[in-house]
Amino acid sequence: RTYGEEKAKVLWTLCSLIDGIPMLYQGDEDPKLCHQEDLPQLGDFFRELFAVRRQYLSNDWSTRYIYTGTAVMAFVRELAGRRLLVMLNFSDEPVKISSEFLRNADLANFRKIVYGFAEITGVTITVPAWGRTMIGEE
């Protein structure tokens, strides 16, 4: 949190939605545990994030990383034909992922936001600054 709450949330979302087991350090969710009274309480953020992980993912899902050429890190989690697109913007500016890129990467059918925020216009996805989203196929 030293470098910003929203930046940290993007990183924690990455660690929680890629393959593997997410880990928290003591005090990440409740800074009072480390005698840091002036930092925000993030218990609700972690409860929501881990609930999304439990609802939509398991360790059986494969991960395919997508190079976007932007500040957005993207990857597809897949199991038995079911796919979820995760997009994380590591920038202080919104990033637009073009429809051409999405079509070429076989990502044009991702339309239903199941976690976080993004703007889907046609087949273009805009991820807000420090944004995080998980999108399912229609």
pLDDT at 1: 42
Task: Name the pTM for this structure.
Answer: 0.88
* Pair 66, 73: CB distance under 8 Å: no
* Separation between Cα atoms, residue 136 and residue 56, nearest integer Å: 10
Residue 41 and residue 5 in contact, taking contact as beta carbons nearer than 8 Å: no
pLDDT, one tens digit per residue, over 62-115 is 999 999 999 999 999 999 999 999 999 999 999 999 888 888 888 888 999 999
Q: Which helix (H) or strand (E) holds 48?
A: helix 43-56
